[in-house]
Amino acid sequence: YENKSDQGVSWTVVSPIVFTYRVIQCKDLLDPRNDTLLWGHIEDEELKGTTSNSKPVKRFIVIDKTVHELYGSKVSQYFDAKGVIYKILPLPTTEESKNMELVTKILEEVHQFGIDRRSEPIIALGGGVCLDVVGLAASLYRRRTPYIRVPTTLLSYIDASVGAKTGVNFGGGKNKLGSYVPPVATFLDSSFFQTLPLRQISNGLAEMLKMALMKHRGLFELLEVNGRKMLHAKLQPSETCGGSEQEDGAAASMRIAIETMLEELAPNLWEDDLDRLVDFGHIISPELEMRVLPALLHGEAVSIDMSFMVYVAHQKGLLTTQEKSRIIQCMLGLELPVWHQECSLVLVQKSFRERLRHSAGSLRMPLPTGLGRA
């Protein structure tokens, strides 16, 4: 739009940005008979033209170091069987190493390998840190290169993998550098959970409980009754439901967690609206997690934050004593911490000040008003 005034001429540009990305649940992702990892990001019509192209297919894969020890040979076998030119880059993707140096390392390797930035997406295979770091690297390379997320932890499966945020830690703060660039696709395969320690399963269940408390009473009741059982089964399919059409508790809980997360994220991908239910458990947990690193996993810090806020909600008359008790007992049943000695009043006050700075001067603190309501 052009506007003329006594001071001169001005132009206003309005350019809506539309992102389309796919979240696909599948089984046996690393089985060479399954094409999802290679072509799942492409719609069927476009795929016909891509597969008939004589140009060799290339893929650059960034994989968490521990995941590489467990699945690296299967990843290699997959791409060998498909006749793909590929490079696998194993990296130690932990909160302590989640920094711009790691991003630069990825970018140098990608540049050396050489990819077509429009048709050869970078693949990230690992937990939330791996997905965040690779996402940021992809968003920077040639101003935006497509990337694919393959989460291997429960927490990244239902949280980091389905949104648009990328980031690294900076200046002593969690995810202080980052971008809003979603992947072209996320591929979900819960069989990766079989090699996770139980603590990592609990860690992910914290984010699931968050969505239950904010949006879905049925999910809360499922976790309350069957949570410990699902934890110790590592959310693998129940044998009793194996051959039937009936959805078991583990599959239902993951589906509901992802659906409720996407319902919240999709209309507000760029966080223009700061009233975000998905921020429950994320008011004091960033400060706490970074303060005691590496003592608490992300979901454990979120659980402690949620526990504190449940007491705040009860104090404000938003939750009954019984509801408060049921929530805390559910957390304990999921083997999550509900308190930490470093969660002091000073830390809480500092977190609130950070929140005010981050949220345009308004605290905007999501609180439960019942089980599945907020």
- Residue carrying the six token digits 């919240």: 264
CA quadruple 229, 234, 239, 240: dihedral positive or negative?
positive
81: alpha, beta or left, given left = phi > 0 and alpha = psi -120 to 50? alpha
Is 174 annotated as catalytic? no
294 prior amide bond cis, ω within 30: yes
Spatial CA neighbour of 199 closest among 234, 223, 162: 234
d(CA 104, CA 177): 13
Measured distance between the N- and C-terminal CA atoms of the chain, rounded to whole angstroms: 41
d(CA 310, CA 318): 9
Burial class (CB in 10 A: 0-12, 13-18, 19+), 253: buried
Return the SS3 of 172: coil
Chain-centre distance for alpha carbon 135: 11
Q: Please list, in sequence order, all residues whose beta carbon lies within 8 angstroms of the beta carbon of residue 128, skipping any fewer than 6 positions away.
A: 151, 153, 155, 156, 159, 160, 161, 298
**Out of 98, 165, 215, 234, which one is annotated catalytic?**
165
Report which residue type is found at 142: R
Strand 2-5 vs strand 8-11: parallel, antiparallel, or unpaired?
antiparallel
Return the SS3 of 147: strand
d(CA 205, CA 197): 13
- H or E stretch covering 4: strand 2-5
Show which residues are catalytic.
165
